[in-house]
Amino acid sequence: MKLGSDIYYVFWREMKRFWLQKTRVAMTIFQPLIWFALMGSTMNNLTQGMAAGSLMKRMMDGGTGPLLIKNFLDGAPDYMTYVAGGIIAMTALSGGIFGGTTVVWDRRLGFLNKMLAAPINRASIPLGKMLAIAVQNTIQVAVIVIIAMIFGVNFRTGLTGILLILFIAALFSMGMSGISLALGARLKSIEALFAIINMLFMPLIFSSPAMFPASAMPGWLLAFSHWNPVTYVVMPLRVLIYKGWLWKDILFGASVIVGFVLLTGALAVLQFRQSFS
């Protein structure tokens, strides 16, 4: 009970700070809108052009342009539908991996010393922050779902599937925040933390099928993607968006993410206890 209340206080402080940062809240809407409007629309036109260019050949073989798109995009009817899951995964990754910056800022402002001196469980600091990051990310993913619908994405599993998408994305952001918080507890320089975060972010995105199909990857990159946690959040998200209730794929991806959260949460707690003992 004491640990639970301590986690709640840390969580609530992070949420209050989030709502007070109006620019940050606005960016939760603006950032995914840019991805859909720019990359989504461009790549959607590109894949449609690929289909049109190959239409005559496919028709001679008994196929169609839309079939070509579906084969290339893992069953998605168009790139906009395909990339929706990738943008959600990327948003969860971004929200989680930048979570460790709060530790460095709290240290610089002296607030971390106040929390460490308070009669609370040390584990509640990373766990409360992880929970707050998960809730903040859920808000952003909900906005993404609305934007995706505006751009014509049809969520095949309906409202229940959307709620499960929000839950999986929240779990993944929580898992990534565990890594970031452990780094934030270890490092004293925010510049060093940003350097590591930037080094991790792009490779994790582009070594997964978040933006582009796995069939387009070279063999060595495809092998690496099997060890990339982003791959295992993208998989159930895409199933829920346009494939339907394929429980085997959904449960497999979700179970990997749950294990990932438990591992990184334990890592964050251990690092806090070692760094601030």
Rounded to whole angstroms, the Cα distance separating 152 from 270 reads 45
Which among 90, 76, 120 is positioned nearest to 213, based on CA atoms?
A: 76
Give the side-chain half-sphere CA count within 13 A for 249: 15
How does pLDDT run across 217-240, given as a tens digit for each residue?
888 888 888 889 999 999 999 999
Interval 177-192: pLDDT, tens:
999 999 888 887 788 8
* Residue 113 CA: distances (Å) to CA of 108, 116, 117, 234: 10, 5, 6, 38
| Token pair recorded at residue 48 | 């449609």
- H helix intervals, the chain: 2-20, 22-34, 41-53, 55-60, 65-72, 79-97, 101-109, 111-117, 124-150, 158-186, 190-206, 219-225, 229-238, 247-275
Higher confidence at residue 221 or residue 258? 258
As given in the structure block, the two tokens for residue 28 are: 């939760």
Which carries the bigger pLDDT value, residue 245 or residue 122? Answer: 245
Question: Is the per-residue pLDDT at 35 higher than 80?
Answer: no
Confidence of residue 66 (pLDDT cuts 50, 70, 90): low
Decide if pLDDT at 65 tops 80.
no
pLDDT at 172 exceeding the cut of 90: yes
Range of the structural domain that residue 127 is part of: 2-275
Our count of domains for the chain comes to 1
pLDDT-derived band at 28, boundaries 50, 70, 90 = low
State residue 230's pLDDT score.
92
pLDDT band at 59 (very low <50, low <70, confident <90, very high): very low
Q: What proportion of the chain, given as a percentage, has pLDDT over 90? A: 28
Is the pLDDT at 52 greater than 50? The verdict is: no
Of residues 238 and 42, more confidence is placed in: 238
pTM: 0.85
Tokens 């990373």 label which residue? 126
The model's confidence at residue 53, banded by pLDDT at 50, 70 and 90, is: very low
CB 70 within 8 A of CB 82: no
